[in-house]
Amino acid sequence: MAKFTVRRFILAAALAASAAFTLATFDTRPAAAQASGCGSECEPNPTPSPTYSPSPNPSPTPSPSPSPSPSPAPSPSPSPAPSPSGPTGADSSGNSIGGLANQRFNQMITNRVLGTVLLGVNEQINCGDCVSAFGSAGSFSAGIHGRKALTNNLSLLAGIAYTHYEGGGYQITSAPIGAFALRYDFTDWGSSRPFFDVGAILTPWEKARYTRSYDTSLGPVSVTSSTNASNYAVYGRAGWISRLSPRDEVAASIEVWQLWQRVTGYNDSAVAFNPFDARIADGTDRTSLVKIGGQWTHLFGSNIETNINGGWVQSFASHSGIVATVTGQGTVVPTIGNQGWFEYGGRLGFRVQKGWIVDLFANGTLGPQPVGKTIHGGVGLRINY
């Protein structure tokens, strides 16, 4: 039964294959006959369908880049003035050197006024030998001075003191002052006669502090610097004395002085803000003076002595020794003009016992700057012997 089935399957497959082959043959033969049996008259030659050849992509025409229209040149606006890169005030700093010159001129005059106390400026021209210890305020001074008759006509006046004074922006400390003079009084001429003095005042060393101030665009500046100084003065005096009575003596005189002041150079001291600093070189100030004055001494009763004195002083040939180098200004050399002022003095003495006198005295100046108004007062104990 199995064999029969296989055979039947084989037979069916063979029959199916034969039928398929026959159909394929039948289908191809009419197509072949049709292709060979139709001439050119049967159908027009078929128009061949055009072969599509792609047209080349056209290269894109570059769109012209617009030529930039020139931007109009801007009309120049005025450029603002450049602001300064730092503070201004160099000119003010330079001007402050003139203030230093005034301080140093005042120093010369004050030193001289204090020195004349040692030469008996508040005492009568002719008197006996004496010695006086004194102290003064206003400008502190303490010392001793006196006179000694060398002959009937010639006397020695001398003194020494330690001083400390200030004024108008400067300060002087640790300053010893010495003074001496010779006075020739023509006593043999009678109660009215001439007299002559020659002398000197010496301050060989002193500590000095000077202050200069100036303005800047950022604010004021004040600088105080320290240095050393020294003062020297020589003078000659010619006068006339009259003993009006045993209680009154009057005198008039003319004096000629030459003053020198040597100041050691220094730089501005360090401060927080000093954009236009200065360097001061060594220098010597000098001036010449002429004084015309007089005095009157009077004894009230038997115990009270009084003296008043004064005179007009005129400077000439003054010279400032300052040569300053100022940042932003260069070298600055100040000048000092001629000055005129009044000097005054007085003494009130109390005879506490024979030969012992307590003195109250004062001396000062009246005038424009740089001398200005000053007063120096003190007390002394004078002993006549």
The full set of domains in the chain, from first to last, is 90-384 (2.40.128.130)
Cα 236 to Cα 240: distance, rounded to the nearest angstrom? 14
For residue 348, count CB atoms less than 10 angstroms from its CB and return exposed for 0-12, middle for 13-18, buried for 19 or more.
middle
The predicted pLDDT at position 130 comes to 94
Give the per-residue pLDDT at 75. 53
pLDDT of residue 59: 46
User: What CA–CA distance (Å, rounded) separates 274 from 293?
Assistant: 46
pLDDT value of position 86: 82
pLDDT for the residue numbered 195: 98
Distance (Å, whole) CA 108 – CA 231: 7
Total-model pTM:
0.77
Note the pLDDT of residue 62. 45
Chain centroid, CA 170 distance in Å: 15
pLDDT of residue 137: 84
Which pLDDT score is estimated for 18? 46
Q: How far apart are CA 138 and CA 333, in angstroms?
A: 32
- Whole-angstrom distance, CA of residue 170 vs CA of residue 278: 17
Q: What is the pLDDT of residue 45?
A: 43
What is the pLDDT at residue 139? 82
Split the chain (385 residues) into runs of 10 and give each run's mean pLDDT. 44 45 40 37 40 44 47 51 72 96 97 96 94 90 96 97 94 96 96 98 97 95 97 98 95 98 96 95 98 97 95 97 96 94 97 94 96 95 92
Query: Six-digit token pair at 334?
Result: 């100040």
